[in-house]
Amino acid sequence: MSESPSASLQRIAFLGDYLPRLCGIATFTYDLCEAVSIAAPDANCYVGAVNDRAEGYDYSARVRFELQANEVDSYRSAADFLNFNNADVLCVQHEFGIYGGPAGGHILALLKEVRMPVVTTLHTVRQDPDPLQRTVIEELARRSDRLIVMTTKGAELLSDVYDVATDHVTIIPHGIPDLPFVDSSFYKSEFGLEGRQVLLTFGLIGPDKGIENVIEALPEIVRRHPHVVYVVLGATHPHLVAREGERYRLSLERLAEERGVKDHIIFLNRFVPLDDLKHFIGSTDIYVTAYLNEAQVTSGTLSYVFGAGKPVVSTPYWHAQELLADGRGALVPFRDPAAIADAACGLLDDPGRVEKIRHEAYAIGRQMIWPAVAQQYLEVFRSCRADRTATPRAAFAEWTLETRPRALPPRRLDHLIRMSDGTGIFQHAVFNVPNFDEGYCTDDNARAFILCSLLDEDGGEPTSFGFGELATTYLAFLAAALDHDRGRFRNFMSHERQWLEAAGSEDSHGRALWAAGTGAGRSRDAGHSALAAGLFERALPAVEAFTSPRAWAFALLGIHEYLRRNPGSPMIDRIRMKTTEDLVRIFDQSAADDWPWFEASLTYENARLSQALILSGQSTPHPRALDIGLRSLRWLASIQTTQSGCFRPIGSNGFYERGGSRADFDQQPVEAQAMVSACHEAHRATQDGFWEEEAKRAFEWFLGRNDLSVPLYDFGTGGCSDGLHADRTSENQGAESTLAFHIALAEMSRAEQPITVPLFSSKRSTLT
């Protein structure tokens, strides 16, 4: 007796986007799960759905757990759910846009902790990945028992580009519905298209689809075949709508009117359910897919129409090259409307060729229908389950607190939103209420924009964090603060929006540079990045005349951030080297064996001086600067540790003069935040675990591991106390302190991410 396909598979979990979320991966996850559940009726198939918005979606009962794409702890909770529910196998759908973190690396937090076999379907395999994308794919390969790709090209790329062993990869085609082989006229009456020749493009609409080239081809097609109608079926991609509305679709409509073919094109701006889609495909005479570049390793829409036995005109992207080889369709050059017109008319002129293509495509398509695909997946699941039985993963008992990532407080930005208006963020608060009398300052708006940029780079839309458009507001404040004639930032503004000085301090100018550099190097918003880069470039030259060590340090941090994405210049290189040498010089002048520091006193944001040299020491490179940064930071850590082991920053009530007594209070949140940042940079530079522990110790100061054993962070409001006094915490929750906590939390979260953001990209990034 043969073994049942579901033997030893009682619980099969699927992870990915899921209907009713509108995207191709959601449809694929749904179809695959349903097909497997039919093929293995004794197995309990269930889904973990990935949410791209806080409120989630109205899922069916098939969804047993959800995770928030941009919250790394959500992935660990999902791993716990899967482990406690004893899933026999986990099938992960992977596309870079699904998961949060750099290059979608949050998914690795889940894969590191699940105990069951993992089968990962790669919907995209890049030929030229950036360093982060390469790291994610390599880690996915290492932590998956099997990788599934849908084309031979995908398997070749995994072998040639990522060095994945061929026996670790299985090729299973994209599943398709089992549609009848019928003449297109059978369905045309449903749409009032009797007597018309129908060209179709469907799927989520975006500029990469090249639809404008098909419209450019229409006049010639219509001239030769006057009864042609081109149907563009599908909603604009939701992420594109969020970013720029319907600009692309409207441009297509204008183009159709300009080319005189508006009577020969139909736009249906909606996501079509499968039952309706079947009829649209059935009514099609030619499917046209005009992607703009070849790096498309899988196309679900192409699979659908090809498997339904429809002739295809396509640009030669990878999946099309493979599926339409040997005359099974018409391949045309990229961005070539004339070739599209010739290919479409060639098919319409040759019914015999069309019938041959249709029959051959439909025969191949029988291997792609969902029942056949489900059986192939089940064979992979069973094989991986058998292999894992022989080599099980670590048991739950080994997951002690020592071995698992530390829990961090959930991000709550309510207080920062309350502290902000249409001008910027207020400096101060009375308790947790904004203090209008004190107005605004560039320092705090710079900090707020840095926070937005960090969260933005991690993949979260600002609205998902409650910020709305406040990132724009903070950047607009910085833009208004810059006196372009003088190249200097102003700092203080009254509640009446009047600047209170001609130029701010050197330190506030340095912080503004740091924020502008961060926006230029991290923001995913092209406008934000461009404006921030312009502010940075205009304001940087003023630093050459500065004398403040902290202004030098802030400027170096800004330069480092700016260079993540932007090419350097002789001016930037000169200022970076000069400020680095200035910090080295004052260290040499001041330091002694018992006082390895830059000045004769320790005052505020001390760790930033060390952090700046650690970064510059690595990037220029300047080994001595790196050594001074690490040496000074280690000494600073030693004198900011109590006998009980908690973090005790230098107090602002007197600071610490060399040879004198240090002030233990009032302890300021910016000191803890600076220490968190500097220690993370030290760890990245050295991989010494000591620095991870120091960062943790400084961060836990916010949470109550301090001299008074009381938290400064308010878990109820999301605000942070302005300081720790000798007998109490401050009751006010101003912008500086609250931002200090949230930036420190963002940096701790990034440090816990499964992959690390590299210091510098190998080439300039392309904004999306």
| Average confidence (pLDDT) over 115-142 | 94
762 pLDDT more than 50: no
Which two three-digit tokens encode residue 217? Answer: 């081809």
Which single residue is written with the structure tokens 């030669």?
316
Residue pointed to by tokens 């952090």: 611
Q: Which residue has the higher pLDDT, 399 or 540?
A: 540
pLDDT higher than threshold 60 for residue 460: no
Give the model's pLDDT for residue 464: 42
Using 50, 70 and 90 to split pLDDT, how confident is the model at 274? confident
| 320 domain residue, yes or no | yes
CATH of the domain at 302: 3.40.50.2000
In a domain? residue 3: no
Residues 237 and 378 reside in one and the same domain: no
Long-range contacts of 395-403 (CB under 8 A, 24+ apart): 395/115, 396/83, 396/115, 399/113
402: tokens are: 């020592």
Rounded-to-integer distance, Cα 310 and Cα 191, Å: 18
Predicted confidence band of residue 402 (pLDDT cuts 50, 70, 90): low
236 pLDDT band, cuts 50/70/90, is confident
Q: How many residues appear in the chain?
A: 768
| Predicted pLDDT of residue 245 | 85
pLDDT at 622 over 80: yes
pLDDT, tens digit, for every residue of 672-686? 999 999 999 999 999
Going along 76-116, which residue ranges are E strands? 89-94
Q: How far apart are CA 575 and CA 564, in angstroms?
A: 17
How far apart CA 759 and CA 518 sit, in angstroms, is 13
Top-confidence residue, 297 or 30: 30
**In 458-548, alpha helices (H):** 470-481, 506-522, 526-539
Q: What is the DSSP string of 186-243?
A: HHHGGGT-TTPEEEEEESSB-GGG-HHHHHHHHHHHHHH-TTEEEEEESPBPHHHHHH
315 and 422 share one domain: no
- Residue 76 and residue 111: Cα distance in Å, rounded? 9
Residue 5 lies in a domain: no
Per-residue pLDDT of 98-127, as tens digits, reads: 998 888 999 999 999 999 999 999 999 999
Together in a domain, 190 and 109: no
pLDDT greater at residue 598 or residue 760: 598
The DSSP code sequence of 14-73 is EEE--TTS-SHHHHHHHHHHHHHHHHSTTSEEEEEEEESSTT-----TTEEEEEETT-HH
Q: How far is Cα 727 from Cα 526, in angstroms, rounded to an integer?
A: 48
Asked whether 607 and 674 are in contact (CB, 8 A), the reply is yes
* pLDDT over 70 (residue 186): yes
pLDDT at 467: 55
Of 230, 219, 105, the residue nearest 751 (C-alpha): 105
Q: Which domain holds residue 359?
A: 185-364
Structure tokens at 119: 């089968």
CA distance 405 to 170: 33
- What is the share, in percent, of the chain residues with pLDDT greater than 70? 93
Q: How far apart are CA 17 and CA 51, in angstroms?
A: 7
How sure is the predictor about 66, in pLDDT bands with cuts at 50, 70 and 90? very high
The strand pairing partners of 147, in sequence order, are 120, 169
What is the token pair recorded at 368? 């792609």
**pLDDT tier at 399 (50, 70, 90 boundaries)?**
low
| 463 and 609 fall within a common domain | yes
d(CA 465, CA 448): 13
Please tell me whether residues 547 and 623 are part of one structural domain.
yes
Which tokens go with 488? Answer: 């200097």
Contact partners, residue 548, CB within 8 Å, separation at least 6:
505, 506, 507, 510
Residue the block writes with tokens 């963002």 = 746
- Considering only CA atoms, which of 139, 76, 77 is closest in space to residue 103? 139
Q: Judge contact between 683 and 656, C-beta under 8 A.
A: no
Whether the Cβ atoms of residue 756 and residue 425 lie closer than 8 Å to each other: no
| Cis? peptide before 596, omega within 30° of 0 | no
Q: Among 74-78, 293-297, 438-442, name the most confident range.
A: 438-442
pLDDT, tens digit, 9 for 90 and up, residues 201-216: 998 889 999 999 999 9
Which region among 51-55, 340-344, 631-635, 706-710 has the lowest average model confidence (pLDDT)? 51-55
* pLDDT above 70 for 292: yes
The helix/strand/coil state of 592 is: strand
Q: What letter represents residue 402's amino acid? A: E
CATH number for position 588: 1.50.10.10
- The per-residue pLDDT for 3 is 47
| Domain count of the fold of the chain | 3
Closest by Cα among 576, 598, 585 to 517: 576
389, pLDDT greater than 80: no
The continuous run of DSSP H or E covering 441 comes out as: strand 440-441
Q: Identify the CA nearest to 48 among candidates 9, 24, 74.
A: 74
CA 316 to each of CA 54, 65, 208, 296, 353: distance values in angstroms, whole numbers, following the listed order: 39, 39, 14, 9, 20
Helix (H) or strand (E) holding 382: helix 370-390
Q: Is the pLDDT of residue 720 over 50?
A: yes
Rounded to the nearest integer, the mean pLDDT of the chain is: 91
Structure confidence at residue 579 as a pLDDT band (50, 70, 90): very high
At 582, is the secondary structure helix, strand, or coil?
helix
Asked whether residue 344 falls in the same domain as residue 382, the answer is no
In a domain, 30, yes or no: yes
Q: For residue 404, is it within any domain? A: no
- Looking at the structure, do residues 208 and 151 belong to the same domain, yes or no? no
pLDDT at 761: 39
How far apart CA 343 and CA 352 sit, in angstroms, is 15
Q: What beta strand segments (E) does 539-663 contain?
A: 601-602, 656-657
CB 480 within 8 A of CB 427: no
Q: Give domain status of residue 406, yes or no.
A: no
CA proximity to 678, closest of 722, 635, 633 = 633
Convert the pLDDT of each residue in 509-549 to its tens digit: 999 999 999 999 999 888 999 999 999 999 999 999 999 99
> What percentage of residues in the chain have a pLDDT greater than 90?
82
Residue with tokens 């940079």: 681
pLDDT tens string 487-507: 999 999 999 999 999 999 999
Residue 8: pLDDT band (50, 70, 90) is confident
Q: Looking at 399-403, 406-410, 751-755, which range is the least confident one?
A: 399-403
Is the domain of 727 the same as that of 703? yes
Q: Does residue 392 have a pLDDT over 60?
A: no
Q: Assess whether 302 and 357 both reside in one domain.
A: yes
Residues 6+ apart with CB under 8 A from 716: none
408 — pLDDT class (breaks 50, 70, 90) = confident
pLDDT class for 756, splitting at 50, 70, 90? Answer: low
- By CB atoms closer than 10 A (0-12, 13-18, 19+), residue 578 is middle
The verdict on 553 and 685 lying in the same domain is yes
Pair (126, 245) in one structural domain:
no
pTM of the model: 0.76
Is the pLDDT assigned to residue 466 strictly greater than 80? Answer: no
Q: What is the pLDDT of residues 623-663, one digit of tens each?
A: 999 999 999 999 999 999 999 999 999 999 999 999 999 99
CA-to-CA distance for 89 and 93, rounded, in angstroms?
A: 13
The pLDDT tens digits for 734-753 are 999 999 999 999 999 888 77
Paired with 176 in beta bridges are 369
Same domain, yes or no: 632 and 671: yes
Residue, of 555 and 761, whose pLDDT is higher = 555
Min mean pLDDT across 82-96, 204-218, 287-301, 398-412 is at 398-412
Q: Does residue 406 have a pLDDT over 70? A: no
In a domain, 718, yes or no: yes
Q: What is the pLDDT of residue 757?
A: 47
Looking from the CA of 286 toward its CB, the CA atoms found within 13 Å total 30
Residue 313 has a pLDDT of: 98
244 pLDDT tier (thresholds 50, 70, 90): confident
Q: What is the CA radius of gyration of the chain?
A: 30
**Residue 173: burial class (beta carbons within 10 Å; 0-12, 13-18, 19+):** buried
Q: Is residue 405 part of a domain?
A: no
For tokens 């020749």, the residue is 197
Tokens representing residue 758 in the block? 């590299």
